[in-house]
Amino acid sequence: MTGGLAFWVAVAAMAAITYLTRALPFILSARSRLLERLSREGSALAVLGPALLAGIAAAVIVPDLLPAGAGRPLPYLGGLAVTACAVRRWSNTGAAVLLGVAGYALLRALLLQ
Amino acid sequence: METASAGARPLPARPGHARREGLKACLPVMIGYFPVAMTFGIAGTAAGLTAPQVVLISALVYAGASQFLLLASIKAGTPWPWVVALCSLLNARHLLYGPLLSRFLPQALGARLRAAFLLTDEVFATALQRIEAVPPGRRQPWLVGLGLGAWLTWIAGTAVGAYAGGGLEARFPVLAEAMRFALPALFMALVCQSLRRGLWLPVGAALAAAAAVAAAGYATLAILAGAAAGCLVHALRRRA
């Protein structure tokens, strides 16, 4: 199923679709009234960015916490708490991610031995 | 739109410096991307693709969810038209990124189209947080630096996973397991940084709605549900 013409046509189509979904708003933005409304400062949709982020975060995190996922909720939740505290304390995303990963690894070693 | 980096130093005037500053801003994304890309490289070769094929897919498609969907489809034998249709649904959220960023970018269409290729979830999130602190004339090179750093890290991580991943996992299993936590940690950090006065309730609603839909097994739909719930709560509060 891999390496044939149909496979590479599908890969090319996926690449094109991905690019189009990213580029289309920029092509339309000069004229589109809808897109102008979407991006206006203070509009009801000003919350869209943070809400999308929250949605992506939930889509990444929740499946890992379900029984069929990673199956290690305590170290996982602990690691997330460490990350949240670190980013609120120092406002440095990179450092918070590294501390979160370290916290997760430590808790996993302590709790799942 | 306020940013978490409101107190950031002003950037130097030259475009090269702006690109380097963009690259520096990319560091958290790189930390999050590398292990995920490595995982894709390992899984891709395990699915029967050659290492150059796996790297080429990462370079061309450059969308984590779509790429993992592709591997799952190889395993499940899903027909390619279905895979492409699912990929379209997965990527629909990208349509919302351009309008939010467009007011920060120069009007030249060519420059915008070049930046569009690099606009992943994480690049968008980082840009949304920090681009306002960048002087308007330097935003394009800053975004290119940010996006290129993420793209090259994604390709490099895939290559390491495809060519050497199996050996690394066997030799350092604890490290490999811990690094898988980098992506959730990255999103947790980005959500916390996006929180400011007046947004706790909408973001809380977005998290709750997305978590409920994701728990039901619809991860892609969860992203759209979260965005819709957040906007709805925000709109209702403004009317009240």
pLDDT in tens, B173-207: 777 778 778 778 878 988 888 787 778 899 999 99
Q: What is the mean pLDDT of residues B17-42?
A: 87
Contact B68, B188 (CB under 8 A): no
Point out the residue among A47, A98, A105 whose CB comes nearest to the CB of B234. A47
Question: Residues A90-107: pLDDT tens digits?
Answer: 877 778 888 998 999 999
Confidence at residue A27, expressed as pLDDT on a 0 to 100 scale: 80
Substitution target from B54, B188, B196, B223 for chain A, most A beta carbons within 10 A: B188
Q: What is the mean pLDDT of residues B97-116?
A: 82
Kindly report the nearest CA distance between residue A67 and chain B, in angstroms: 10
Confidence at residue B6, expressed as pLDDT on a 0 to 100 scale: 37
B60 in contact with chain A, both atoms CB, cutoff 8 A: yes
| Residue A38 to residue B100, Cβ atoms within 8 A | yes
Q: What is the mean pLDDT of residues B34-62?
A: 88
Long-range contacts of B106-110, Cβ-Cβ distance < 8 Å, separation of 24 or more? B106/B139, B106/B140, B107/A30, B109/A26, B109/A27, B109/A30
Give me the residues of chain A with pLDDT under 70, please.
1-3, 29-46, 68-71, 113
- Residue B4: pLDDT band (50, 70, 90) is very low
Largest CA distance in chain B: 59
CA distance B231 to B175: 39
Kindly report the nearest CA distance between residue B134 and chain A, in angstroms: 17
Confidence at residue B36, expressed as pLDDT on a 0 to 100 scale: 78
ipTM strictly over 0.95? Answer: no
Question: Residues B140-175: pLDDT tens digits?
Answer: 899 999 999 999 999 999 999 899 877 777 787 777
Higher pLDDT pick, B43 / B134: B134
A110 in contact with chain B, both atoms CB, cutoff 8 A: no
Confidence at residue B217, expressed as pLDDT on a 0 to 100 scale: 85
B186 in contact with chain A, both atoms CB, cutoff 8 A: yes
Contact B206, B226 (CB under 8 A): yes
